[in-house]
Structure 1
Amino acid sequence: MIYINGRFLTQNITGVQRFALEISKEIIKREKDCIFLVPSLKDLKNKDLTDLFNIVEIKGGRGHYWEQITLPIFLLKNKGASLLNLCNSAPLFYKKQIVTHHDITYIRYPQSFSMPFRIYYQFFSRFFLKNSKEIITVSEFSKEEISNHYGIERSKITVVYNAVSAFFSNEEKIKKEDKVGYILAVSSPVYHKNFNKLVSAFSRTDINLQLKIVGGVEKNLSNTTKTDSDKRISFVGRVSDDELRSLYSHAVAFIFPSLYEGFGIPPLEAQACGCPVLSSQNASMKEVLADSVLYFDPTSEDQIISVIKKISNNDVLRELLISNGYSNVTRFSWEKSAAIVHSLIEKINVQKGSI
């Protein structure tokens, strides 16, 4: 059997929670004896999941206190059971566990995070990573980063790729003439996502297209002089999955200017919806996107401008990137990724030793 740290079920859905949720849905098909431990059933973000998962409430605080004190005490009382952590954090000193750590952005770009967040991850991550039996991360790039920074043997780290939900697909074939005149960008406005550079570069173009940016917006980004003066740039804010799928499907192209990613799901979502992708060449992006996109140096406004201009007036290139994108998406699946996780569960379940 396996206990799963279900704290992620009480959190808002972002990329790391999505990974945890999708892997969990597949794991329960392979491992019948899965128990999700949560601090409070009342805090579940999706109450319907109680019909899908075997969720058990372990009372005793919330947040980090529950994860660091209540959870390991419960496990020790249950003969040191195996624990699977799928969402970037874990008990510091519990050893019979698998820990998932997506990347070390908090080290490479600390300015993207609040002080409490940086302190927690910069200090505590080294303990739960070194004390765990196995580590999961989402790319070979992140594997190297984690290994090099924390001095952890590569053999202890297993790559388990993200994938795209089947929801994101181009259900209705969008004809070329049905495409709306905009470039789409999707992400959060934190520093390493590089939105300021994208906005600045786009404002220097003279193309007859809009730039639509989906996601939360920081005041210092949305109120810049460039966005005020350039009416082609608009901040859509947060949207539903239905709205996002439609935006992907109708866009002329999707652009991803990030400086650092452990994986980067939005470009794959765009590709699944039949949208050609322009991507940063940094970090894990070439590993994830291979030859299916048009790359650029995210620190160069001139290169950003160049790829936007290329895609805006070249239908042959667009069709090639759409076709390559569909092929690229098929490289990843939650089923294949969950199979790797399940093999790690079986591995630690048969291991003897300290807990």
Structure 2
Amino acid sequence: MIKTLSLAIPPLLVGAAVISHGPSIAPTTPASPTAPLTMTMVDLASIAAGATTFRMPSIAKPAVASSSCPARSTIRLTASTPPLKSICASGGKILVNGSNAQGFAMSDIVTRGYGPVMRGVNVPDLRVERVSATGARADPTLGLGLVNISSGIGHAVFRDVVWIGDTKAPAINGDDAWGAITLKGKNAKDFGTFEITGFDFQNLFMAPGSHYRNVDGISTEKGFSGTISNGRVMNASDACLDIKGDVKVTNVYLSGCREGLKIWQSQHHGLVELGSNSFAGIIGKGSPSETRTIEIEVLIASGNPDIPLFVAEEGKVILHIGRLVAKSNQVLKGSGSYSGSQVIVDQRITN
């Protein structure tokens, strides 16, 4: 287990130079000093040493005998459902499905060739630890993913979780939204806090068609706030991370998605490495009524330099980077970005 502590990172976001792509834009005053991030020992050491790469953590494997993985009936989740632990299952439609279960926990679970692991409504204080889903398949009705929940989560914890999709079994093309972890819902009941740490999510796809291919690695609606740390998302039809609300991200690797990060409000993040994503490294969603600021302490661009690092949509957004590690010819800002948006870099290192 990686121990965590809350410390203020030495300030990188000062004395900024403005670097833009396309027409020249006058610099604006950076946002006021940001609050300390909750950083892991790995992140603090990396930043202090002038980090130039993401470090994939060791993810604890489920403690379960996996030589026998029979098919299992769906567990109907209710208020009286006991914790689910030490199970290996294969070939099922969905492992857990239900509602109104306070403090439900899943630990040491292996699924193979399964549909979604869990869907739930009103499951406050959920704990999901040491769960591995490989060869994961989409169900035509229930979609795909490790956990899909709505209507309040209390404080949810996801630790040491793996979801690897079967590329031959994508979600059907439709108007639903899926992800390895999806915290969804947009009404007054959809709120809570979360921790996601130690994760490996790969191959999250929706089949082509007339609908937007809305499958992310992790998706959080604006009522949910928390931390995403120490893991990677590789290969998704839409965003590797689609994050609304007060969310902090650190020590993550994001590659093979349409965009690595889709960020919907002002946020402050730690270390992020972006591989090659097809549209942009980061999309900043703005608002005509305000200027939003995204601050990233260390941003590493190790993918195709022709793909813009940043695109601002629907309003003015400032991307403020403490330390940028990128190729000398990395395109910083997409030419179609919302007028007045900028990329500000304090320190640049060529990789």
TM-score (structure 1 length as normaliser)? 0.27
- Structure with more strand by fraction: 2
- Structure with more helix by fraction: 1
TM-score (structure 2 length as normaliser)? 0.27
